[in-house]
Structure 1
Amino acid sequence: MVSSPNSPWLKYMSLGVLVVQTASLVLTMRFSRTLKEDGPRYLASSAVVSAELLKIFTCTLLVFRDNNFRLREMNQLLREEIVNKPMETMKLAVPAGIYTLQNNLLYVALSNLDAATYQVTYQLKILTTALFSVSMLGKRLGSYQWISLLLLMAGIVLVQWPTESEGDSEKKVLSASSQFVGLMAVLVACVSSGFAGVYFEKILKETKQSVWLRNIQLGVFSFVFGFVGMMVYDGEAVREAGMFQGYNLVACTVVVLQAMGGLIIAVVIKYADNILKGFATSLSIIVSTVISYFVLKDFNPTGLFFFGAVLVVAATFLYGYESKPAGVSTAKM
């Protein structure tokens, strides 16, 4: 590429792509799980498997390109780095299993929470990533970053603060129960995201393999785990109507966005920095909130929510202020 990695337009272009991808994935996934259809709804477990297949295919093409489009050289590289190094390859089984669980949990969360609440609450992964980075990688956080984590916790509490709503008591109980399930799914996803991200970062830093090659290894394990999970939990539905039942344009869009998410993050890490990633996160929250309110109409913001969201956005910016010396990375979210 002619432009320097530090070129401003590359940084802001990668920022813009990340904002669009993050907000689009959350909103499209939420819309797909609430859309009323005549036939069966697509299986979340099937979407996870399909996304992994697409990611493997895309990364294979990128490795093919890196080897000057020579099939023999690519096959030799894959054999040497994957088949002939089984112990190195097996290390990816741990984050692959966790990412598979996380991806399924996100569907559960967005089936029970509005897009805006999910998007803000999911920023708790910043805290889990920081804690795992300190404990697993021995990294040190600056004072601004610890303050930002406290602001993050306060913002999450305010966003999730219960509010009185009109309607019968049965509807309130069902709504509260649904929100609890969604909240628990997000919290578990945050913990798994933090651990798997730091674990994957540790693996990447210990070897010289490309990110694309590592993502192929990761994708193969994720596909196996995802396929087994799909057959265990949705095996009867798959046997009756097939793996791709309920797939439409919206479902296919969700699969594509989910598959490309990890690849976009890799590009952002290469061309941008943590402060710009904070911009992307914050902007995606704002975009998701606006669209959730005006388009999906599944969200009624309160004063506490707005105040909590402001704290989360402020915490994101503050955390990035000292991110370079601290070096906390979230390679995949």
Structure 2
Amino acid sequence: MPNGREQFILGPGEGPGVSRATVSTQQKYTSLGLLVLQTTTLVLTMRYSRTQEAEGPRYLASSAVVCAELLKIFACTLLIFNDNRFSVQALNRTLWDEIVCKPLETLKLTIPSGIYTLQNNLLYVALSHLDAATYQVTYQLKILTTALFSVSMLGMRLGSYQWLSLLILMTGVVLVQWPLEPTLSPALVDLSAGTQFVGLVAVLVACLSSGFAGVYFEKILKETKQSVWIRNIQLGLFGLVFGLLGVFVYDGERVLKDGFLQGYNSITWTVVLLQALGGLVVAAVIKYADNILKGFATSISIILSSLISYFWLDDFVPTRLFFMGSVLVITATFLYGFNRKPIVSSNIT
């Protein structure tokens, strides 16, 4: 029984004087730090990979999505292998029982998998037409779409803080997307006028797909007892199929001409690796942290992306409206996670 004193309980890998609470805190902030690093690095690296000057054909976004799905499947398989104490027989039995022998459960993942594949391709399109900072802030609209789908699909009720945060979020995104000031250089104005609309549409569709697929996936997880890693493998398998279809439907001629891995270099493989690890990092954050701290990580990532986009990529000039909009988006991110205690309606099963 708790007696008000700190008790030290030794566990695997823990030494004398290390409490379980301390280990949990370390895992929490480690996962949050990884999320900040992964999100910021992915956005900036993806943007750089789509705008860098290179000899020969540019790499295909559709093929990068397929490679990322393969890496995610491989990573999740290794995690399940570890859970089964590195027994090949136990791994094979787990995969057979949970995936092959439960076809209906596996088929449920076709919808979110197809949507996630579409979303991943849209992110490449968005970062080909928007600077990294504008993309990062605008993509926070997924908070709004996730909230709306949670209310409609899960029967979730949002408190006054959450609804207020959504209004602040909308205002911030409008300010961020406001036309560039005429004092900026003509090159940046022409670039914005010619391509920003395409990037904005791609981000908005990605926000819709992210909200729906995320809530649908959450609903599936709550209705079954299968592990997150098994579900991610199921997602990856269907994502692989949808991704390959996308490659040969949209880029089939280019693949036949220059190959599936055309234009790949170290930067491209870095993007693929970061995208593949993204789902694993988010899973760790959900396990060890909470929504408030996750909001901190998202907000820090936005700030870092803006600064690095300005100083390193040199493709972004911050304006007063952008600064005001970013502050509002960051405020909304914090507010949305503040004291969030959703109530699920009793008539939802």
**Residue 205 in 1 paired to residue 222 in 2?**
yes
For residues 322 and 23 of structure 1, the distance between their equivalents in structure 2, rounded to whole angstroms, comes to 26
**Residue 123 in 1 paired to residue 140 in 2?**
yes
In the superposition, the TM-score normalised over structure 1's length comes to 0.95
Contact 2:42 2:275 in 1 (8 A): yes
**Residue 261 in 1 paired to residue 278 in 2?**
yes
Measured after TM superposition, the shift of residue 6 of structure 1 is 7.6
Structure with more helix by fraction: 1
In the superposition, the TM-score normalised over structure 2's length comes to 0.90
> Residues 309 and 172 (structure 1 numbering): CA distance in 2 closer, same or farther, change over 3 Å?
closer
CA RMSD of aligned residues (A): 1.6
1:291 maps to which residue? Answer: 308
For residues 21 and 194 of structure 2, the distance between their equivalents in structure 1, rounded to whole angstroms, comes to 51
For residues 115 and 281 of structure 2, the distance between their equivalents in structure 1, rounded to whole angstroms, comes to 20
1:244 maps to which residue? Answer: 261
Find 2:245's aligned residue among 228, 240, 258: 228
Q: Give the alignment of 1:1-333 within 5 angstroms.
A: 2=14, 3-4=20-21, 7-165=24-182, 172=189, 175-325=192-342
For residues 18 and 11 of structure 1, the distance between their equivalents in structure 2, rounded to whole angstroms, comes to 11
Could you tell me the percent identity over the aligned residues?
70
For residues 182 and 326 of structure 1, the distance between their equivalents in structure 2, rounded to whole angstroms, comes to 36
For residues 323 and 62 of structure 1, the distance between their equivalents in structure 2, rounded to whole angstroms, comes to 31
> Residues 144 and 167 (structure 1 numbering): CA distance in 2 closer, same or farther, change over 3 Å?
closer
Query: Greater shift after overlay, 191-200 or 1-10?
Result: 1-10
Query: Greater shift after overlay, 317-326 or 185-194?
Result: 317-326
Structure 2: runs of 5+ lacking an equivalent: 1-11, 15-19, 345-349
> Residues 304 and 326 (structure 1 numbering): CA distance in 2 closer, same or farther, change over 3 Å?
farther
1:7 partner SS? helix
For residues 49 and 22 of structure 2, the distance between their equivalents in structure 1, rounded to whole angstroms, comes to 37
Residue-by-residue CA offset, 1:92-126 (whole Å, 9 max, x unaligned): 00000000000000000000000000000000000
Contact 1:5 1:270 in 2 (8 A): no
Measured after TM superposition, the shift of residue 326 of structure 1 is 5.6
Measured after TM superposition, the shift of residue 324 of structure 1 is 3.9
Query: Greater shift after overlay, 172-181 or 240-249?
Result: 172-181
Residue-by-residue CA offset, 1:37-58 (whole Å, 9 max, x unaligned): 0111110001000000000001
Structure 1: runs of 5+ lacking an equivalent: 328-333
Q: Which amino acid aligns with 1:41?
A: R
Contact 1:5 1:271 in 2 (8 A): no
Residue-by-residue CA offset, 1:5-63 (whole Å, 9 max, x unaligned): 98222211111110000000000000000000011111000100000000000101111
> Residues 42 and 100 (structure 1 numbering): CA distance in 2 closer, same or farther, change over 3 Å?
same
Residue-by-residue CA offset, 1:131-163 (whole Å, 9 max, x unaligned): 000000001101011000000000000000112
For residues 62 and 282 of structure 1, the distance between their equivalents in structure 2, rounded to whole angstroms, comes to 29
Contact 2:116 2:210 in 1 (8 A): yes
Contact 2:180 2:189 in 1 (8 A): no
2:248 partner SS? helix
2:316 partner SS? coil
Measured after TM superposition, the shift of residue 171 of structure 1 is 7.9
1:321 partner SS? coil
Residue-by-residue CA offset, 1:203-256 (whole Å, 9 max, x unaligned): 111111111110000000000000010011011111111111111010000000
Bigger Rg, which one: 2
For residues 126 and 236 of structure 1, the distance between their equivalents in structure 2, rounded to whole angstroms, comes to 38
For residues 67 and 167 of structure 1, the distance between their equivalents in structure 2, rounded to whole angstroms, comes to 59
Q: Which amino acid aligns with 1:92?
A: L
2:251 partner SS? helix
Measured after TM superposition, the shift of residue 322 of structure 1 is 2.5
Measured after TM superposition, the shift of residue 173 of structure 1 is 5.5
Contact 1:82 1:89 in 2 (8 A): yes
